[in-house]
Structure 1
Amino acid sequence: AAEYEKKHDPKKLEELGYKVSSLAAGDSIAVTKYFTQILNLANLAEEVQISHPKRIRNLKRGNLAKESLLINESDIEQTLRRLVVDLKIPAQEVFETLKNQTVDLVFTAHPTQSVRRSLLQKHARI
């Protein structure tokens, strides 16, 4: 996968597909569980990364009312400010780029929004 990502060589992707499809059933389950946990940890890290700066700003303002919502928010204002002010991208260019974005629906066997209660409880404990 890393080799494919570097060069986008279709042969490397084909090779990866062959390796994955030739895994024994037990190994497939282990690999699937591994990637599930990696994605869960990545999601948890993202939630913490998003919520921490917002929590500090709210604490400084004395505004704790929305603290419970912080974990689900993203800071579009901060992102836009970084693009326009820090990276000096013209506001009109940012606007045009956002205006031309498309959204595609992706259907998966396990939608990311259906998280089991036990997993949510584990995240809360962490």
Structure 2
Amino acid sequence: MNQRAQKRHLERLALKNEATIASDRRFFERRPDRQYRLRLASAAEVDLNRALSGTWSAPGARLFVVVRKISPTVRIRALLFGPAENAADMDNVSEGEAAFLFERARRQNAQLASIESSTVEAFGGAA
């Protein structure tokens, strides 16, 4: 796929993910005391990340997203694989569990750590 076609493909996938982004916003609006959320990755997120980084998978695992709220309007996301059986009850994941998973992802990914740091610097919130 040429660069122009790939760019259009990524833009279409990003548009498909708008509903998921709105879902994260609503989650934090309903729970102003929360800074973290763990959820299953949307189909658009799976497709978008597969398109960006090539084909990948983990046998017997599902792709999850842990979201960190930086400010009421700014959030960053980290992807992680987890056991498929953990997908059943995402509503009961505590703030502490989600924060732990985000922190682990940040420690393991220098690019995520850099994005988090610059986002916090630009938009507020504690690193």
TM-score for both structures, normalised by structure 1: 0.28
Would you tell me which structure has more helix in proportion to its own residues? 1
Would you tell me which structure has more strand in proportion to its own residues? 2
TM-score for both structures, normalised by structure 2: 0.28
> Which is bigger in relative contact order (C-alpha 8 A, separation at least 6)?
2
Rg larger in structure: 1
